[in-house]
Amino acid sequence: MVIEATRRDERGKNAARRLRRAGRIPAVLYGAGADPVALVVDSRQGQQVLRTAGHTVIYELKIQGGEDARAILKDSLVDPVRGDLLHLDLLRVAMDVRIRVRVPVRTFGEPQGVKVQGGIFERVARDIEVECLPGDIPEEIGVDVSEFTIGRQLRAADLPLDPAKIRLLTEPQRVLAHVVAPVKEEEAPAAEAVAAAVTEAAAPSEPEVIKKVRKEAEEGEEGEGKGKGKGE
């Protein structure tokens, strides 16, 4: 994918705002031991980079007023409210030098643990970090999870990577996805019994003085009743 860019001399927030109002996006190109270069790209091209490329595609930078270069998208800044692209970070690459990149992992198929056993399929991580030559960067890594049953895990070490070209940097035992059993709700009677026990334990006990006074009053009433019966 070709990106047309122009070198820029103005820096700072005010200059960046003026560029965005004019339909252009500030960017910076760095890496490969060269000095950083401040650039300007068309906003439509910048949005296209985010929609179609991600961090695994190599771009041909045609820089007006500078030396052309090859680069990958390293980072981007997007307005959290409006979703507008605000800035691009481009990493210069040499085709004969290995680089570190993050590659998305895509799962496909309906797991047997969900379809037959009623489990739940959970994605824990959606990408991994690898090291390879720019020309060997995979766009994504696809894994068929149709045979996954409850308890089965997909780990980074399980991914189909060519060790001669790609070195896995993510912890090999890191879980990327798994099928888990559904959580069973507790029966209502058991829950009510626990609540009643908690309430009883939390209720304040009656003071001993009050108990003693109440007992003496009850005994006095009982004695009066007996005496009245004898007189009659």
Coil, helix or strand at residue 152? coil
Domains recognised in the chain with CATH numbers: 2-94 (2.40.240.10), 100-180 (2.170.120.20), 188-231 (no CATH)
Q: Which of 71-80, 145-154, 205-214 has the highest mean pLDDT?
A: 145-154
Residue range 143-157: mean pLDDT, rounded: 97
pLDDT tier at 43, thresholds 50, 70, 90: confident
Residue range 22-38: mean pLDDT, rounded: 89
Tell me the C-alpha to C-alpha distance, in Å, between residue 49 and each of 41, 58, 196: 11, 11, 60
Q: Looking at the predicted structure, is the pLDDT value of residue 17 above 90?
A: no
Q: Looking at the predicted structure, is the pLDDT value of residue 232 above 50?
A: no
Residues of the chain above pLDDT 90, percent: 49
Q: Which two tokens stand for residue 96?
A: 């004969």
Q: Which of 37-41, 99-103, 152-156 has the highest mean pLDDT?
A: 152-156
Half-sphere exposure of 186 (CA within 13 A, CB side): 8
Q: Looking at the predicted structure, is the pLDDT value of residue 69 above 60?
A: yes
pLDDT at 105: 96
Residue range 39-52: mean pLDDT, rounded: 83
Tell me what the pLDDT averaged over the chain comes to.
83
Q: Which burial class, exposed, middle or buried, applies to 108 when counting CB atoms under 10 A from its CB (0-12, 13-18, 19+)?
A: exposed
CB-based contact 153:175 (threshold 8 Å): yes
Residue range 59-75: mean pLDDT, rounded: 89
Residue range 37-58: mean pLDDT, rounded: 81
